[in-house]
């Protein structure tokens, strides 16, 4: 099945993420080097695959390609992107690009040749429905097919062998040049299936575990995701069902979709779908939910359903964004980690836990699916392999409630999402659920638990082997990651932590209320609560609480005492 079963995906729309000009000014900048400062954030969520939406030279938004073999100058150049890909790989993060093969921009070389040479252009057959007896909305003196009526997006003729070979050569180039690991196929439902078959052969020949998934908004996913065509598709059916079922307090809706897709006899049991709750084309899930208390359950569901979970940049902080009648730019903001608007750090911590849990549990990555108890406001489903059984339970009400289900065993259930709490069960069991709570319950003998204290977030130092054209960018690149230091504080020289109010380096405020000793390791723990949501109480090793972190090349305390 390849690496994707063992993955948590992060998705970035680079032009928006970097704050690039909306129209290409063709000035060379290295804005995408900003990604170095986000690697630790990704790794803290157990992210090990990154999908970049368009990075190649375009006129405006990335989907109007000018040059498939050149990184957009607003983001960097080919050499700077090579280094980005290498650094991501060095940090255990696969790289997937957005393959926009359905259409190009009006500044694409072959279309410019048609504009200049009309009937005499050798590229006239490269585009769909070119007619030199008609005119276009741009007054070209000829007409052509624009994708979905957008004439700035010129539809390619994928029945033309020259076009197909050109695009396949571009895919080979990306693998050879940047060592990419997969492709998102834009507007896949508009593209000739035969082209995808050829693309798959080319990519798999280069890299057997190369992963191809298509953007499919409707229709039978089996048409595109099968052994001959693509590996997977975007799961738009469940994207809608997840937030809608929470808004309507109707878990029957999403339970029906999950069973239809992945249950016994499910139509997509053989497809490892690309799962998401928002992306660059749809409203942020925090804006779509009527009650933001449901955010944690929404993400628990996405992480525990069959398929691979994907986080759209910034949504781990619960940021909002709604598309307008004329623009998607509100969905694609420029973000900096030290100034996230109204960050929901509680959600971020929940997503961090989900990443650890997903990668630790075989049943979540490979198991079958079955609904166990469906109610309007409560739900239990099971994921199971031959080696492991996991129950996932949800309560979307605003009060403490109980839900019963047949565990089918005489054993223990360990809730790895909630402090490894253990329950003794014998067949049918009723479990108590806190308001808006989800539980991930592993069947075991009582010895199973997940350690969330392991810190595997340090970004590996970037090696600069050449002098970049922009010296300031080189300096930022060298200092972007936390470096291991021989003179770092030792365990016996930890900054003293005392009760009081502290500000996290990302802006949240917390109160240290007590201290504890870890029962297994005797490590000293700091007990603290979120001042903006006092029901959130956390424990963190004192050494980690007191340590320094690197922010934009500057060392600062992880938590600063303020009173």
Q: Is the pLDDT of residue 355 over 50?
A: yes
Examine the domain organization and report whether 268 and 342 are in the same domain.
yes
Distance CA 297, CA 278 (A): 15
Four-residue CA torsion sign, 357, 363, 369, 374: negative
Q: Which of 136-145, 229-238, 528-537 has the lowest mean pLDDT?
A: 528-537
Do β-strands 146-147 and 150-155 pair in parallel, antiparallel, or remain unpaired?
Answer: antiparallel
Torsion of CA 94, 335, 26, 82, to 10 degrees: -20
Nearest partner of 518 among 485, 494, 535, 543, judged by Cα = 543
Given CA atoms 78, 82, 88, 94 in this order, what sign does their dihedral have? positive
Is the pLDDT reported for residue 421 higher than 50? Answer: yes
Q: pLDDT band for position 463 (50/70/90)?
A: very low
Q: pLDDT at residue 517 above 90?
A: no
> Half-sphere exposure (CA, 13 Å, Cβ side) for 198?
18
- Higher confidence at residue 420 or residue 1? 420
Distance CA 64, CA 23 (A): 11
Task: Give residue 458's pLDDT.
Answer: 59
Q: Max Cα separation, the chain? A: 83
DSSP letters, 502-561, are EEETTS-EEEEEEEEE-TTT--EEEEEEETTEEEEEEEEEHHHHH-EEEETTEEEESEEE
Q: Are 345 and 219 contained in the same domain?
A: yes
The rounded distance, in Å, linking the Cα atoms of 244 and 70 is 40
At residue 453 the predicted structure's pLDDT band, cuts being 50, 70 and 90, is confident
- In this prediction, residues 504-515 reach a mean pLDDT of 84
Question: Is 307 part of a structural domain of the chain?
Answer: yes
> Residues 133, 68: one domain?
no
Same domain, 44 and 120: no
User: Taking residues 323-349, what's their average pLDDT?
Assistant: 94
Of residues 363, 413, 405, the one with CA closest to residue 383: 363
Phi/psi of residue 526, nearest 5 degrees: -95, 130
pLDDT at 459: 64
Which structural domain, as residue segments, surrounds residue 142? 103-157
Whole-angstrom distance, CA of residue 156 vs CA of residue 160: 9
> pLDDT tens digits for 197-253?
999 999 999 999 999 999 999 999 999 999 999 999 999 999 999 999 999 999 999
> Taking the model in full, what pTM does it have?
0.82
Question: What confidence tens digit (pLDDT) does each residue in 465-475 have?
Answer: 333 434 443 33
Residue-by-residue DSSP string for 302-343: HHHSSSEEEEETTGGGT------SS--GGGS----GGG-SS-
Q: What angle do CA 120, 126, 130 make, to 5 degrees?
A: 70
> What is the predicted pLDDT for the residue at 493?
52
Give me Rg for the CA atoms of the chain.
25
Residue 345 has pLDDT above 50, yes or no: yes
Q: Is the pLDDT of residue 349 over 90?
A: yes
Arithmetic mean of pLDDT over the chain: 91
Where does a domain end: 362, 388, 418?
A: 362
More confident site: 550 or 414: 414
**312 in a domain, yes or no?**
yes
| Residue 149 vs residues 24, 117, 382, 446: alpha-carbon distances, Å | 22, 24, 45, 60
Report pLDDT for 553. 64
Of the chain, the percentage scoring pLDDT greater than 70 comes to 91
Mean pLDDT confidence for 462-488: 39
Task: Report the CATH number that the domain containing residue 221 is assigned in CATH.
Answer: 3.20.20.80
Asked whether the predicted pLDDT for residue 431 surpasses 70, the reply is: yes
Q: Which residue has the higher pLDDT, 495 or 195?
A: 195
Average pLDDT (89-111) is 98
User: Tell me, what's the pLDDT at 469?
Assistant: 39
Q: The CATH number of the domain where 404 resides is what? A: 2.60.40.1180
Q: Are strands 438-444 and 389-395 parallel, antiparallel or unpaired?
A: antiparallel
Residue 303's contacts (CB-CB under 8 Å, 6 or more residues apart) are 8, 309, 354, 355, 357, 358, 364
Dist CA 160 CA 383 (whole Å): 46
**Residue at a domain's end among 339, 362, 385:** 362
Domain membership flag for residue 479: no
For the residues 256-277, what does the mean pLDDT come to?
98
For residues 374 and 515, membership in a common domain is answered with no
pLDDT at 336 over 60: yes
**Same structural domain, 342 and 432:** no
Identify whether residues 310 and 394 lie together within a single domain. no
* In-domain check, residue 449: no
Residues 137 and 195 in one domain: no
Question: Cβ of 478: how many Cβ atoms within 10 Å?
Answer: 15
Residue 339 has pLDDT above 90, yes or no: yes
Is the residue at 482 inside a domain? Answer: no
Residue 384 lies in a domain: yes
C-alpha 262/C-alpha 378 separation (Å) is 20
- pLDDT tens-digit readout, 244-266: 999 999 999 999 999 999 999 99
Whether the per-residue pLDDT at 551 is higher than 70: the answer is no
The span from the CA of 263 to the CA of 255, in Å, is 10
pLDDT of 435 above 70: yes
Question: In this structure, are 86 and 108 located in the same domain?
Answer: no
Q: Are 525 and 539 in contact (CB under 8 A)?
A: yes
Long-range contacts of 468-474 (CB under 8 A, 24+ apart): 468/30, 468/79, 468/80, 469/28, 469/77, 470/28, 470/30, 473/30, 473/33, 473/80
Question: What pLDDT score was predicted for residue 301?
Answer: 98
What contacts 24+ positions apart, CB below 8 Å, involve 203-206? 203/171, 203/175, 206/172, 206/175, 206/176
List the CATH number of the domain containing 113: 3.90.400.10
> What average pLDDT score do residues 8-32 get?
98
- pLDDT over 90 (residue 121): yes
Q: How confident is the model at residue 530 (pLDDT cuts 50, 70, 90)?
A: confident
Mean pLDDT of 13-21: 98
Q: Taking a C-beta distance cutoff of 8 angstroms, is the pair 89, 179 a contact?
A: yes
**Is there a single domain that holds both residue 206 and residue 265?**
yes
How high is the pLDDT of residue 36?
A: 97
How many domains does the chain fold into? 4
Domain annotation covers residue 457? no
Are 263 and 370 contacting, i.e. CB atoms less than 8 angstroms apart?
A: yes
Specify the higher pLDDT residue, 10 or 534: 10
The per-residue pLDDT for range 49-63, each reduced to its tens digit, is 999 999 999 999 999
Look at residue 472 and tell me if it is in a domain. no
CA dihedral 164, 166, 171, 176 (to 10 degrees): 150
Mean pLDDT of the region 364-371: 98
Query: Which of 362, 396, 430 delimits the end of a domain?
Result: 362
Output the pLDDT for position 489: 38
Does one domain contain both 336 and 251? yes
Q: Is residue 311 located within the same domain as residue 395?
A: no
Vertex 173: Cα angle to 170 and 176 (nearest 5): 155
Tell me the mean pLDDT in the region 64-91: 98
Q: What does each C-alpha distance from 306 to 181, 190, 326, 365, 370 come to in angstroms? A: 22, 26, 35, 7, 11
Residue 529 has pLDDT above 60, yes or no: yes
Split at pLDDT 50, 70, 90, the class of 325 is confident
Pairing of strands 211-214, 232-233: parallel
- pLDDT of amino acid 460: 61
Residue 137 has pLDDT above 80, yes or no: yes
């Amino acid at each position: 099945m390849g690496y994707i079963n063992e993955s948590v995906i992060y998705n970035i729309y680079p032009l928006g993420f970097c704050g690039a000009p909306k129209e290409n000014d063709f000035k060379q900048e290295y804005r995408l080097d900003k990604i170095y400062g986000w690697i630790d954030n990704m790794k803290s969520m157990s992210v090990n695959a990154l999908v970049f939406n368009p990075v190649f030279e375009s006129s405006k938004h990335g989907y109007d390609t000018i040059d498939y073999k050149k990184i957009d100058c607003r983001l960097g150049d080919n050499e700077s992107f090579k280094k980005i890909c290498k650094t991501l790989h060095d940090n255990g993060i696969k790289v997937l690009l957005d393959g926009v093969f359905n259409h190009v921009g009006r500044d694409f070389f072959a279309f410019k040749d048609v504009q200049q040479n009309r009937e005499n252009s050798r590229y006239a057959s490269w585009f769909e429905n070119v007619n030199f007896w008609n005119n276009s909305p741009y007054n070209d003196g000829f007409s052509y097919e624009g994708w979905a009526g957008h004439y700035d997006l010129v539809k390619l003729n994928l029945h033309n062998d020259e076009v197909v070979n050109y695009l396949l050569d571009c895919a080979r180039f990306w693998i050879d040049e940047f060592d990419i690991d997969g492709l998102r196929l834009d507007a896949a439902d508009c593209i000739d299936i035969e082209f995808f078959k050829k693309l798959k052969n080319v990519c798999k020949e280069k890299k057997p575990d190369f992963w191809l998934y298509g953007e499919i908004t409707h229709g039978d996913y089996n048409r595109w995701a099968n052994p001959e065509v693509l590996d997977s598709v975007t799961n738009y059916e469940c994207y809608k069902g997840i937030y809608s079922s929470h808004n309507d307090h109707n878990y029957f809706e999403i339970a029906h979709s999950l069973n239809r897709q992945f249950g016994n006899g499910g139509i997509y049991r053989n497809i490892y779908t690309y799962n998401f709750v928002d992306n660059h084309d749809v409203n942020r899930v925090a804006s779509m939910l009527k009650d933001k208390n449901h955010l944690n359950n929404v993400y628990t569901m996405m992480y525990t359903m069959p398929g691979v979970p994907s986080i759209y940049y910034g949504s781990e902080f619960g940021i909002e964004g709604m598309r307008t009648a004329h623009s998607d730019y509100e969905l694609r903001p420029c973000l900096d980690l030290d100034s996230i608007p109204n960050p929901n750090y509680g959600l971020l911590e929940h997503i961090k836990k989900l990443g650890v849990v997903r990668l630790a549990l075989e049943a979540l990555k490979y198991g079958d699916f079955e609904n166990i108890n469906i109610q309007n406001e409560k739900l239990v489903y099971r994921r199971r392999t031959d080696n492991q059984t996991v129950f996932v339970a949800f309560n979307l009400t605003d009060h403490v409630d109980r839900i019963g289900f047949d565990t089918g065993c005489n054993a223990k259930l360990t809730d790895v999402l909630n402090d490894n709490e253990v329950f003794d069960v014998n067949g049918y069991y009723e479990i108590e659920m806190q308001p808006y709570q989800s539980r991930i319950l592993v069947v075991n003998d009582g010895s199973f638990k997940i350690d969330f204290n392991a810190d595997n977030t340090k970004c590996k130092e970037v090696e600069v082997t050449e002098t970049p054209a922009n010296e300031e960018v080189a300096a930022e690149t060298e200092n972007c990651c936390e470096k291991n230091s021989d003179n770092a504080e030792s365990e016996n020289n930890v900054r003293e932590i005392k009760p009081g109010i502290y500000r996290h380096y990302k802006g949240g405020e917390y109160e240290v209320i007590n201290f504890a000793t870890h029962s297994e390791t005797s490590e000293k723990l700091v007990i603290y609560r979120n001042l903006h949501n006092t029901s959130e109480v956390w424990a963190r090793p004192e050494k980690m609480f007191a340590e320094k972190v690197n922010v934009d090349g500057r060392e600062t305390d992880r938590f600063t005492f303020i009173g």
